[in-house]
Amino acid sequence: MNAYQQLTEKTDYLNNLFQDLDFPTIGVFESPEKHYRMRAEFRVWHEGDEIFYAMFERGQKASGASLLRCDQFDAAHDSINALMPRLIEAVSPVPLLKNRWYAVEFLATLSGEMLVTMIYHKKLDEQWEAAARALQSSLGIRIIGRSRGQKLVLAQDFVTETLNVGGKAFRYRQIEGSFTQPNAKVCEKMLAWACSAAEGLGGDLLELYCGNGNFTLPLATQFDKVLATEVSKTSVNAALWNIEANQSHNVKIARLSAEEFTEAYMQNRSFRRLQEQGIALADYRFSTIFVDPPRAGVDDETLKLVAQFDNVIYISCNPETLRANLDKLTETHEITRAALFDQFPFTRHIESGVLLKRKGA
């Protein structure tokens, strides 16, 4: 099955899943068929004196029987594919780097940066670090060494990506080990769609689950003020850097989970963190809420909060939990726009977006 056929199947699946919800025509945003992933990770397989990248049959135990050798990986960005053989060639004659090398993770950017995490089943000592620094210099990359209880950052533990949305470039610090959208080109399309959905809504925006500010920064161009929430300290720190780098001075980040913010908004609980960050909820006139929840969807209490807003922009990575959330939200709101983003071609994964507006508003 080619990518077009599979994308058609995904679209049909969404239409069937939402057919009784008065669902609008779904806008479909395709992915490049190759070289779209900015992240890739592999096991490093040792066979005699040879080492090579490996993956395993889905659902099978990692073993020689389920082994899939990966000298190249069509889904990965060109820069990752170009580096893969060079890294193996450079490491193979260096026992300090080769021995007990277990796995590798690549994090690339459209702007040309590359961060490589080398994972070992041994303690990383000064001799390993010296060899890894030489490798880093010779390949022109940044390296992190990991082993149990160890993380050795030889240069920095992040890359800086540049995404273009509506003719404007946005810079993002993406930290190793933190979530980022893997398909940068589709991510740009998602951001543009979200901004288009927000156009003309006005007022202030509340965002839950903001991560490193991926959606926050472009959406901030559509609203007077933005308050975004995120519980991960790492993601909050990245978001703060991104806000400053992009001069998005109408954005503030509250380090709260969605559940905690719901308690604060409903005035059921006060949080010192909001006071320390100089955030007063009474200063905002929210017209819109943006949510991009994990696969489990929006929890019941937070969903009650979401339903209080006139406009809801919802990005989902799980159509089933989106459907469950929409069953409640469509009691008070109507779905006016819908989209499918093919973040992961040749898989069953579906990323989607909807815009809801309060009935009668």
188 is catalytic: no
Report the distance separating Cα 258 and Cα 86, nearest Å: 44
Contact 345, 1 (CB under 8 A): no
In the chain, helix, strand, coil percent, each to 5?
Answer: 35, 30, 35
Query: Where do the DSSP E strands lie in the chain?
Result: 26-29, 39-47, 50-56, 67-69, 101-108, 114-120, 142-147, 150-153, 158-165, 168-175, 204-208, 226-229, 251-254, 286-291, 311-316, 333-341, 351-358
Whether residue 300 is annotated as binding a ligand: the answer is no
* Residue that has been written with the tokens 């009650």 in this structure: 304
Whether residue 13 is annotated as binding a ligand: the answer is no
In one-letter notation, the amino acid at residue 3 is A
Contact 217, 239 (CB under 8 A): no
Q: How many CB atoms lie within 10 A of CB 356?
A: 25
Whether residue 125 is annotated as binding a ligand: the answer is no
Q: What is the DSSP-derived secondary structure letter of residue 36?
A: -
Whether residue 244 is annotated as binding a ligand: the answer is no
Sign for the CA dihedral angle at 273, 279, 281, 286 comes to negative
Q: Which of 113, 161, 207, 351 is catalytic?
A: 351
70 is catalytic: no
Whether residue 299 is annotated as binding a ligand: the answer is no
Six token digits for residue 116: 């490589």
Classify 178 as helix, strand or coil: coil
Q: Which of 187, 195, 210, 317 is catalytic?
A: 317
Cα angle value 18/22/25 (rounded, 5°)? 75
Annotated binding-site members: 181, 209, 214, 230, 292
Annotated binding-site members for S-adenosyl-L-methionine: 181, 209, 214, 230, 292
Q: Return the active site residues.
A: 317, 351
